[in-house]
Amino acid sequence: MSEYKNSNIFSFEIVKKIPGHLGRAGIIHTPHGDIMTPAFMCVGTRGQVPFLSPEDLREIGAQAMLSNGYHLRNVSPEIAEQGGLAKWSGWNGPTLTDSGGFQVMSLGSGLGKVVSMEREKEVTNRKKEERLAIVTETGIEFTDPVTKELDFIGPKESMEIQCRIGADIHMAFDELTSLADSYEYNVEALERTERWAQISLDVHREHEYDLGYKQSLYGVLQGGRWEDLRRSTAKKMGQMDFDGYGLGGAFLKNNLGDILRWCNEELPENKPRHLLGLSHPDDILIGALSGADTFDCVAPSREARHGRIYTHDGYYALNKFKESDEVLEEGCDCPACTKGYTRKQLYAMLKSEDKAIRYEYFKLATQHNLRFIIRLTEEIRQAILEERFEQYKDDFMMRYYKHK
């Protein structure tokens, strides 16, 4: 018997829609708690957000944590033994795992999620043999970047790993194509992703209650930048028995909104959608307008560690404010800003010889940047509920990007 009260529950409730658009505010009910959407999921790849304890996460209003099936694959039996990711990590709230497909494909292509045209050309010109990942019908063969040993992961393996980790939400195993891949290659990869989706679904259903509560599965949509591919796969996957959908792929900034619209117009309205790996404020605003419910990305915490601080007026480099007595951002309600840490103090902490002091900087700066993004999603939700989303979006964008 599971100790979780709502252990068999997974559902999505739409509370309010953005008139004339696909966006909405809603609630995702999971065995480990509710997620009020739109929501940002903090990334704890290995089950912990770097430098933050579960308490530190709760302090900034985090609602859910995303971890990675690939990175946790070797400890997954231990996680299962301890009752699943929420318990094992000490987070005890809603969790999601990625399938690992993106990580192993990234070894091959070296591509991020949103790339510039220059980067696209550079990657296209790289030789195939330099790639570290090879796609086969049953999965992806890759060279482990640490051990240099050959390894393999496919839909079956990914589902078994994710069901041992036991997050509330899992992602089906997919093949991420890069912006450099041709239309023909995308057709081939998409058909494979659809076959893998069915295998993912079958294997997942065998194990979804293994840990005593319902684990849900999202199908992941690919299709590159092509409208016909995006629509046809959304229609097909939309008819499959997934609990929700992951919106995947490499996007160019200027077509993100179109791609999301093509997918979300075809998907069933009553299932939640997660936009994978994007979190710049404009991506989140466009995502929320176009019907994405949840978001994740490592950027806010990674940038904090490098001394890049988010504010409503765009981000800045902390080393430009070595002498400043201002807080990171006036009006911010994160622990660093409410306790009155100045930019000068924080910069000195970042540069300290003392490891414990540097650690404290990493914690405070990560909390600030994550709080900025979480607050953005809270404000978006409020604006949708009060029917003023488009005004909110315009005001935010005007201020955030005016300095660029």
The residues binding Zn ion (CB under 5 A) are 328, 332, 334, 337, 368
Write out the two tokens for 356: 């414990």
* CB closer to Zn ion out of 138 and 324: 324
* CB closer to Zn ion out of 105 and 332: 332
CB of 295 to Zn ion, least distance (A): 20
Nearest to 17 by CA among 264, 314, 367: 264
* CB closer to Zn ion out of 20 and 340: 340
Write out the two tokens for 84: 């699943």
Which runs of E-coded beta strand occur in 133-215? 133-136, 139-143, 150-153, 169-171
* CB closer to Zn ion out of 363 and 368: 368
Q: Is the peptide bond before 272 cis (omega within 30 degrees of 0)?
A: no
CB of 154 to Zn ion, least distance (A): 43
Nearest to 159 by CA among 214, 206, 221: 206
202 is catalytic: no
List C-alpha distances in Å: 347 to 39, 318, 359, 368. 30, 6, 12, 14
Task: State the number of CA atoms in the 13 A half-sphere of 160 facing the CB.
Answer: 7
Q: Specify the residue for token string 């996957």.
A: 237
Q: Which of 181, 283, 293, 296 is catalytic?
A: 296
CA dist 26 and 28 (Å) reads 7
CB of 92 to Zn ion, least distance (A): 25
CA dist 358 and 398 (Å) reads 34
Look at residue 242 and give its three-state secondary structure: coil
Nearest to 309 by CA among 352, 364, 351: 364
CB of 367 to Zn ion, least distance (A): 7
CB of 45 to Zn ion, least distance (A): 23
Alpha-helix residue ranges (DSSP H) falling in 321-354: 335-338, 343-350
CA dist 86 and 71 (Å) reads 16
296 is catalytic: yes
* CB closer to Zn ion out of 88 and 347: 347
CB of 79 to Zn ion, least distance (A): 32
Bridge partners, 316 (sequence order): 309
* CB closer to Zn ion out of 167 and 376: 376
Q: Which of 98, 168, 243, 283 is catalytic?
A: 98
Catalytic residue set: 98, 296
